[in-house]
Amino acid sequence: MNRPLRFPLRAIGTTSAWKWFKWLLFASFLVAVALGVRFVQIEMDTSRFQARYLSELTRDVGFTVSEGPSDSIRFPTDGPYDIRLGYALLPAFERRLKERGFSVASQARDSERMASLSDDGLFIPYEEKDQAGLMLYDSTGTRLFGSQYPARVYDDFESVPPLVVSALLFIEDRHLLDPDQPNRNPAIDWGRFSRALMDQGLRVFNHNQAQPGGSTLATQIEKFRHSPGGRTATPKEKLRQIASASVRAYLDGPRTMPAREQIVVRYLNSVPLAAQPGIGEINGIGDGLAAWYGRDFAEVNRVLKAPATPDDLAEQGLAFRQVLSLMIAQRGPSHFLLRKNDDLNALTESYLRLFAANGVITPQLRDAALSQQLVLTRAKLTPPEGSFIERKAVTSLRTHLLSSLGVSTLYDLDRLDLRVTSTMNNKVQQDISDRLAAATTKDGAQAAGLYGFNMLQPKDDPSKIAFSFTLFEKRDGANLLRVQTDSVNRPFDINSGARLNLGSTAKLRTIITYLQIMQDLHARYGQMSVEELRAVKPEREDALTRWAVDYFMHTKDPSLSAMLDASVERKYSANAGETFYTGGGAQTFTNFEADENSRILTVHQAFQHSVNLVFVRMMRDIVHYETIRTSGPSSQWLDDPATRNMYLTRFADQESRVYMNRFYTKYHGKTQDEMLAILLRTVRKSPPKVATVLRSVRPDASQAWFNDQMRAALKNTPKANPPDDALANLYEKYGIDKFNLNDRAYISSVHPLELWLVDYLREHPDATANQVMDASRDVRADSYKWLFKTRYHATQDRRIRRMVEQHAYDAIGKSWQALGYPFSHLTPSYAAAIGASGDRPAALAQLIGVIANKGNQAPTQSLSELEFAKGTPYETRFVRATPQPTEAISPEIARVAQTLLRDVVAGGTARRLAGGITFPNGKTLEVYGKTGTGDQRLNIYAKGRRLIESRKVNRTATFVFAIGDRFFGTLTAVVHEPYAKRYDFTSALAVQLLKSMAPELQALLDEPASKDTPKVAASTEPKVQ
């Protein structure tokens, strides 16, 4: 029976639906993939979505500048650009400046989005500077100095020749300026990027696989400027460069053509091109053309922009070839520019042919360029314009900035993005410099009134004299440096760089120390009763304490002011006939005026008329006082055996070190024969002495060598040509085992340490001074054993007194240093009171500033404002914090010192200014100060202290002064040998020169005595040094 077929319709329907669903799902996936691919393709071509997202992201990127320190600022940590301009160093600068009295007046506040991008690891996006450097301004806003690096840059895209743009884009980024892609992300060239990724993958299997770069111009700029070392060390760093460049490109919105044009400009201005001695690192095409080819940047651009004609085709070809070579050289600047110039030439020619083949340049330009040859040059360092005198202030300020910021070189300093306002007044600085320069001419000196009694004589030539001038102004609790200059046309600053004998100006330091001692004595004895004072038994040598005790026993007014006034009325003899034992020797001194030798003068009178012997005796009293204060009475260190031994041991060590250093300097680096010849020159030519020296410095030498040396040394003497048997006896008699070192030194009349050192250096020719000191410790002690013998008791006492006296001078030196004395040690002599220890004009100015400030030591300022990174998210402005003056000397001492200084001008050595200084506007200001005449001589003595030569090393005339209640400073004239002996001027020369400077100083008086507000001129800029 036929039955109809039955189909499972339900099952068939289910299977068919599922199959259709899978096909539909697969088709949807293919469509999605296609759409995704198309989307990526469109995005790669147009960057539309990147533009929308990144421009929205950067809409809130920015910064503001507000007063005070910022709590939302991020600083870069690395990158050549950020280090060179100082952005990465700003936290360290801030710490150092705060330590030096500055505070943050205003600082950038990064927006939340900008800070977030930085925290995420991106380079901070902002409009970066292509050119920056140190700018110095004076207090009126006049520019003193300006440096811009790179020195030659393209200002904008329009200034770049089209030929340069086309060549750059063909080499590095051909689609960067495609007008059909207004939203293009310039950070990524997808074609190059994908090829770079593929090559990286192939290198896993083939290490020889080439690695063409995938960087765009935008990412290369990020690398040059911000990546550590200017390199891409890791794939992560490459992604960081891409992300940072992408964000930076969309700062101004989704359309990036202006940003892309700016990328071309930044690249050309930033590309690193190695370095040259005397120039440093070279960045940018402009500086590269100047440094490597000696070309004028503006001229090269003019040639490349000009229409090509047969007449200038050769010139255009050379210019294009040079620019092209620098674009290529950035791939390996040191390789191409310093080592392999031929490789650079060959690669440049290859690109020229490629350019012509691709229509970038014409065949004619190609041929013209190929016909030229690249000749790399080394640019010469251009000397600074103007004289050293004109640059003294700028040099001083830059040097001060070095120490303030902790920057190691002026090269690094000048490349910081920094604007500095100084306290100096440039007009007055230049006027004073001109006046000092004029004073070195006969006409100028005559006009200033410098010829006359105690000044220049008609025969004197002022051109050999150097003048220096320093001026400060008291303002707003600080001492502002207004002028610092000299007439020396060399890179040397007399005011702060020299150690000069400034004569009687040292009496000002001495009398301040004297008054400080009186103040200490007042504190110790001023409140005692008469009975208590009678019980005080000062040491016999302590004249100052004895006077103080006696004063308080008889005075009706025990106040400090009364005591100080009385102390300057103490009397001293001015007799020049006494011999003073100080500094380990006997010294005599003279007064400037012979009729003063028989007088007995008060301290007041001696200071007013600058009488030397009074201050020598005062210094003796000060030294005795400090000796007792620091070391106790003489009975403690002369009568106690243990203390005596301690001082003698210390003396022996110190003196032996002095001798050993002297001998080491004499013999170090010499051969054995040279050392022996030098030593024998100083030995008297007698056989025992010569034999002892030879056997000491060559103890293992043969008899034959000894005989040859003896005959050579005794040649042309009565003992010449000794027989062999006599020489054999000498060889045996004076062997090193026959006498100890001290005996051999006695026989030969040579210092024992000199004998030992010559022998030691024979065996250890490369020994350092420290090694010699260590090796000679026992020998040095043995060579001074004689000093510890009891029969030399008087000699021991003298040595101990020298040691104890040195402690006293150290204490005096510390009190001087607290008032600005610039050196670590005083010359241990009473002559320090009259200038023998040296001083500096600028340091003396600080001292009189303390006196003018009624005893307060205000901070000295030459910089009033520092502004870093203006117009960037790192902008920070520093100003001087309100200073807190410290008391250096008491107001009572300052009052007495002012009185003494006024009397110096009223009727003493500075009386030329007794009526004050009168300015062109008719105003007269009081002047007070201290004069000093330094006559430094070099005396050479024979045995028995017989003077055999005395010559002038230098002569100085100094006036340290205060003008009115605002200004103070120093003026110094100095002349060195061999010319010093021709002059007899005194400090009157400096006083008269200051008097003649009133017209130049008038401009400072015209400034109001109010808070110093720095101004920066916006219009006419003077010449940049």
3-state SS string over 575-616?
CCCCCEEECCEEECCCCCCHHHCCCEEEHHHHHHHCCHHHHH
User: Residue 692 falls within a domain, yes or no?
Assistant: yes
Q: Who has greater pLDDT, 668 or 938?
A: 668
Which structure tokens are listed for 339? Answer: 């080592």
Asked if 916 and 925 count as a contact pair (C-beta separation under 8 A), the reply is yes
Q: Phi and psi dihedrals of 422, rounded to 5? A: -100, 170
Reference 533, options 556, 512, 516, 550; nearest CA is 550
- d(CA 492, CA 217) in angstroms, rounded, equals 47
Residue 282, pLDDT above cutoff 60: yes
User: Residue 954 falls within a domain, yes or no?
Assistant: no
CATH of residue 324 = 1.10.3810.10
Taking only the tens place, the pLDDT of each residue in 605-625 is 999 999 999 999 999 999 999
Which structure tokens are listed for 1023? Answer: 């010449």
pLDDT at 1021 (0 to 100): 35
Residues 626 and 675 in one domain: no
Residue 869, pLDDT above cutoff 50: yes
Distance of CA 608 to the CA centre of its chain: 39
Reference 579, options 567, 590, 563; nearest CA is 590
- d(CA 658, CA 371) in angstroms, rounded, equals 71
Per-residue pLDDT, averaged over 574-591, amounts to 86
Residues 245 and 352 in one domain: yes
Tokens 């007042």 sit on residue: 522
Residues 564 and 655 in one domain: no
Reference 554, options 526, 520, 524, 530; nearest CA is 530
Per-residue pLDDT, averaged over 788-803, amounts to 75
Asked if 952 and 500 count as a contact pair (C-beta separation under 8 A), the reply is no
Residue 341, pLDDT above cutoff 90: no
Question: Which of 370, 395, 416 represents a domain boundary (last residue)?
Answer: 370
Question: Which of 309, 343, 370 represents a domain boundary (last residue)?
Answer: 370
Per-residue pLDDT, averaged over 674-686, amounts to 88
User: Residue 38 falls within a domain, yes or no?
Assistant: no
Residues 645 and 689 in one domain: yes
Question: Which of 370, 401, 432 represents a domain boundary (last residue)?
Answer: 370
Lowest mean per-residue pLDDT among 33-42, 302-311, 908-917: 33-42
pLDDT at 7 (0 to 100): 45
Sign of CA dihedral 797, 800, 802, 807: negative
- d(CA 124, CA 148) in angstroms, rounded, equals 23
Q: Phi and psi dihedrals of 144, rounded to 5? A: -95, -35
Per-residue pLDDT, averaged over 752-770, amounts to 90
Which structure tokens are listed for 686? Answer: 């007698």
Q: Residue 826, Cβ neighbours under 10 Å: how many?
A: 23
User: Residue 445 falls within a domain, yes or no?
Assistant: no
632 CB-near residues (< 8 Å, 6+ apart) = none
Sign of CA dihedral 405, 410, 411, 415: positive
Q: Phi and psi dihedrals of 482, rounded to 5? A: -100, -40
Which structure tokens are listed for 310? Answer: 């047969």
Residue 448, pLDDT above cutoff 50: yes
Residue 302, pLDDT above cutoff 90: yes
pLDDT band per the 50, 70, 90 thresholds, residue 13: low
Residue 38, pLDDT above cutoff 80: no
Residue 3, pLDDT above cutoff 60: no
Per-residue pLDDT, averaged over 444-466, amounts to 93
* DSSP secondary structure string for all residues of 182-245: TT--TT--HHHHHHHHHHHHHTTT-TT--------HHHHHHHHHHSGGGS--SHHHHHHHHHHH
Residues 233 and 313 in one domain: yes
Can you give the length of the chain in residues? 1025
Sign of CA dihedral 93, 99, 102, 107: positive
Pick the most confident of 42-56, 75-89, 671-685, 782-796: 75-89
DSSP 181: -
Residues 251 and 177 in one domain: yes
User: Residue 996 falls within a domain, yes or no?
Assistant: no
Which structure tokens are listed for 370? Answer: 């190929």
- d(CA 154, CA 168) in angstroms, rounded, equals 14
> Nearest-5° angle of CA 427, CA 432, CA 436?
150
User: Residue 600 falls within a domain, yes or no?
Assistant: yes
Per-residue pLDDT, averaged over 892-906, amounts to 96
Asked if 761 and 668 count as a contact pair (C-beta separation under 8 A), the reply is yes
Q: Which one-letter amino acid corresponds to residue 1015?
A: K
pLDDT at 846 (0 to 100): 93
Buried b / exposed e over 644-662, threshold 16 CB at 10 Å, is beebbeebbeebbeebbee
Residues 677 and 820 in one domain: no
Reference 667, options 566, 798, 761; nearest CA is 761
pLDDT at 1013 (0 to 100): 44
**The dihedral formed by the CA atoms of 740, 746, 752 and 754, expressed in degrees to the nearest 10:** -130
pLDDT at 9 (0 to 100): 47
Q: Who has greater pLDDT, 395 or 559?
A: 559
Residue 944, pLDDT above cutoff 60: no
Residues 627 and 744 in one domain: no
Q: Residue 684, Cβ neighbours under 10 Å: how many?
A: 10
Q: Phi and psi dihedrals of 334, rounded to 5? A: -65, -40
pLDDT at 934 (0 to 100): 86
- d(CA 606, CA 612) in angstroms, rounded, equals 8
Residues 815 and 768 in one domain: no
Residues 707 and 826 in one domain: no
Residues 246 and 283 in one domain: yes
User: Residue 320 falls within a domain, yes or no?
Assistant: yes
Residues 621 and 685 in one domain: no
| Domain enclosing residue 521, as ranges | 507-570+593-631+803-838
Structural domains of the chain, count: 3
Residue 403, pLDDT above cutoff 60: yes
User: Residue 522 falls within a domain, yes or no?
Assistant: yes
pLDDT at 557 (0 to 100): 93
Q: Is the peptide bond before 722 cis (omega within 30 degrees of 0)?
A: no
Taking only the tens place, the pLDDT of each residue in 158-199 is 999 999 999 999 988 888 888 888 888 888 876 665 555 555
Residue 206, pLDDT above cutoff 70: no
